[in-house]
């Protein structure tokens, strides 16, 4: 089973995913918890470039770097883990490209859908949890993180950019049955309970 976690910065993806990975492992599941960008060996260098370079990157070059990260990640980490019967939990995946490079930066959505299918060799998630939060709350949480001094290029974007990204997630979720939207403005324990319920009901149906 392949589950992805999506949402704006500070929505709680990383924290929720770590908690769910622990719970699943405690229940005896083999879990591969990974992330984009940066889930593969090559990806570690690409992550640094994509999130922290001071060099200006044009939006198409940025897109292709994210897709290179994804292609390597799918081939060397996600597919082998799925083939070994593991539950794969991935912090950001194809929908981040649609929402940040498409809804956010204005690249053409159908081109991005096609390029995502090229990068992943058509590996789509079974379930995608969108942690939906007003962007002001998300950005405030991101700033309260322990490593908040290490802000990334995306966190420095204008509020309007993040608002378009959030709207993108909601629009994508409305047109595909693999999404579940969780109200991530709630207390952590409630967000975790909603995500757990979606995950377990999906696992039970497999």
Residues that bind ligand ADP (CB under 6 A): 7, 9-15, 141-142, 144-145, 184, 187-188, 191
Using CB distances below 5 to 8 A depending on partner kind, what does residue 12 bind out of ligand ADP, Mg ion, none? ligand ADP
- Placement of tokens 């083999």 in the chain: 30
Q: Is 151 in the site for Mg ion (CB under 5 A)?
A: no
Q: Is 14 in the site for Mg ion (CB under 5 A)?
A: yes
Nearer to ligand ADP, 117 or 190 (CB): 190
Q: Nearer Cβ to ligand ADP, position 9 or 132?
A: 9
Strand (E) positions, the chain? 2-6, 31-35, 87-91, 127-132, 179-183
- Measured from the CB atom, is 145 or 153 closer to ligand ADP? 145
Taking the C-alpha atoms of residue 107 and residue 10, their distance in angstroms, rounded to an integer, is 24
What contacts 21, CB < 8 A, 6 or more positions away?
31, 33, 89
Name the residues that contact Mg ion, by CB under 5 A.
14
């Amino acid at each position: 089973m392949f589950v992805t976690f999506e949402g704006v910065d500070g929505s709680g993806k990383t924290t929720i995913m770590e908690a769910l990975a622990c719970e699943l492992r405690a229940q005896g599941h083999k879990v591969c918890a990974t992330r984009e960008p940066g889930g593969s060996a090559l990806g570690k260098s690409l992550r640094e470039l994509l999130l922290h370079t001071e060099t200006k990157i044009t939006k198409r070059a940025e897109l292709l770097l994210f897709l290179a990260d994804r292609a390597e990640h799918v081939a060397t980490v996600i597919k082998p883990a799925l083939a070994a019967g593991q539950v794969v939990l991935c912090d950001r995946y194809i929908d981040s490209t649609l929402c940040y490079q498409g809804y956010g930066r204005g690249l053409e959505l159908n081109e991005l859908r096609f390029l995502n299918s090229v990068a992943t060799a058509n590996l789509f998630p079974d379930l995608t949890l969108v942690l939906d939060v007003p962007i002001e709350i998300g950005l405030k949480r991101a700033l309260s993180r322990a490593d908040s001094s290490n802000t990334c290029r995306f966190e420095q974007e204008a509020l309007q950019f993040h608002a378009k990204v959030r709207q993108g997630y909601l629009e994508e979720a409305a047109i595909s049955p693999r999404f579940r939207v969780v109200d991530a403005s709630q207390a952590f324990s409630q967000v975790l309970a909603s995500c757990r319920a979606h995950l377990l009901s999906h696992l039970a149906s497999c």
